[in-house]
Structure 1
């Protein structure tokens, strides 16, 4: 059974919604070009559009002709997509806003939920405090007590360990990934960007993580646009839509 089929079996009501045509996509790259040191071309006219309510995968592969590795492209793309790097040409858009023109706190504390490969968690804090850390950093106002929201978010992503009293660095790797996802959605961002979120996990744990992401995309308020960067075609094909970079 393929990974996509297994995830479909895990999901409750797992059919994807139809894309609603809107004036602006929830998130888009418009003809983004980026050069590295010595003028090496890292991204060449990259463009795609993503909508809330759907999951997307960016399949990033080596380019033998130019000698550019998938890892170099992935790191560059992750930086550009999250606003840490401004493209040499083109634009990264969140609806009608060019993210290069947004305040960093507005961007990463309100609009984008980000799960990097490294430093996605504070390993010495427990799960609840990890989510609270992100909530406090966002400068947002919340309608309920933040610890209550943190526990609700952990439940939402399928976290099954104790929410307090145990450092997340001591938890199974799959549970750590779920805490990182709960942190990323703690500011109610419509766009969730994840860098190889299933890297190093076995197949069962991969299904657990990707099923949680699919649920976040397809259900809830707000519905989210979930974008996974990966070098694995099997992972990429589990998303609703695949873009090859």
Structure 2
């Protein structure tokens, strides 16, 4: 009878260079989120430094999306602290939460474009609705951001229904950077794309984040993408972060859970529940 092992102890994080360690851009301590009887996040600690690209990996249902939603304030944790630039986010509501959210940009898994708006209106949505910017000025910025992701003004007049999957991702990225956010979240940025388009999107992500000087936090199960867009990688398993380290060290982590995941092996300490036919 197979017995699923307990989750390994949470990983201690590598010490960041002194120049970067004063105030992390995002600091998470003891973050716990529970749904009914299921503990999804179990006392997570994680620091993300200003200007770095952090990526979180883990299997389906490991809590990656829940972590993002807690940072964004879309979910409220049962316990723990989330600080952005040293300011506590947990417990903020209304105008105080919106002030923090203005630092954020988001590339959603399926782009999440508004079908009733043209492409340029989608890109400019945060400028017009969030910042109350005049439409003419917002349109100009939208076209600039579309150009930054390799799309011309003709695309700006199209509707989302007229776009290919890769174009939708690029429009989603243009919208994510339109407000020039300090922190950009990427939710499975290459899901549904072929390998070539996935590489194109990854390169655009790296270039756009670098040009903005932004901090990136991504979640994915695509290890090729993970290696291309991240400086450091953290792995979530059973609600805990079990490994954190530089991306360059992911293949020599020495952690059997990480090794099994990145190599896509069925055999190992991570046991998948498969129901026999």
Regarding TM over 0.5, the answer is yes
Provide, for residues 163-187 of structure 1, a one-character-per-residue CA deviation record: whole Å limited to 9, x for no partner. Answer: 3321122111111111111112222
SS of residue in 2 equivalent to 1:213: helix
Counterpart for residue 52 of structure 2: 54
Does 1:187 pair with 2:185? no
Aligned residues: 215
Counterpart for residue 12 of structure 1: none
Counterpart for residue 67 of structure 1: none
Cα distance between partner residues in 2 of 1:55 and 1:226: 4
Counterpart for residue 90 of structure 1: 80
Cα distance between partner residues in 2 of 1:194 and 1:121: 15
Counterpart for residue 200 of structure 1: 192
Cα distance between partner residues in 1 of 2:144 and 2:105: 17
Counterpart for residue 14 of structure 1: none
Cα distance between partner residues in 1 of 2:52 and 2:168: 24
Q: 1:16-165, aligned counterparts within 5 Å? A: 20-38=19-37, 40-61=38-59, 70-71=60-61, 73-100=63-90, 101=92, 103-108=96-101, 110-118=102-110, 120-139=112-131, 145-160=137-152, 162-165=154-157
Counterpart for residue 227 of structure 1: 217
Q: Residue 105 of structure 1 contacts residue 138 of structure 1 at CA under 8 Å; is this kept in 2?
A: no
Cα distance between partner residues in 1 of 2:133 and 2:33: 36
Cα offset for 1:42? Answer: 0.5
CA gap 1:141/1:134 in 2 versus in 1, 3 angstroms = closer
Cα offset for 1:115? Answer: 2.2
SS of residue in 1 equivalent to 2:150: coil
- Please, what TM-score do these two structures have when normalized by structure 1? 0.78
Cα distance between partner residues in 1 of 2:84 and 2:227: 24
SS of residue in 1 equivalent to 2:20: coil
Q: Residue 53 of structure 1 contacts residue 219 of structure 1 at CA under 8 Å; is this kept in 2?
A: no
Cα distance between partner residues in 2 of 1:242 and 1:162: 38
CA gap 1:162/1:47 in 2 versus in 1, 3 angstroms = farther
CA gap 1:158/1:99 in 2 versus in 1, 3 angstroms = farther
The farther-off stretch of 132-141 and 24-33 is: 132-141
Q: Which has the higher contact order (CA 8 A, sep 6+)?
A: 1
Please say which structure displays the higher CA radius of gyration. 2
Does 1:237 pair with 2:227? yes
- Please, what TM-score do these two structures have when normalized by structure 2? 0.70
RMSD of equivalent CA atoms: 2.4
Cα distance between partner residues in 2 of 1:22 and 1:157: 32
Q: Residue 32 of structure 1 contacts residue 89 of structure 1 at CA under 8 Å; is this kept in 2?
A: yes
Cα offset for 1:112? Answer: 1.0
Provide, for residues 179-228 of structure 1, a one-character-per-residue CA deviation record: whole Å limited to 9, x for no partner. Answer: 111112222211101111110101111111111111122223xx111111
Q: Residue 169 of structure 1 contacts residue 176 of structure 1 at CA under 8 Å; is this kept in 2?
A: no
Cα offset for 1:125? Answer: 2.3
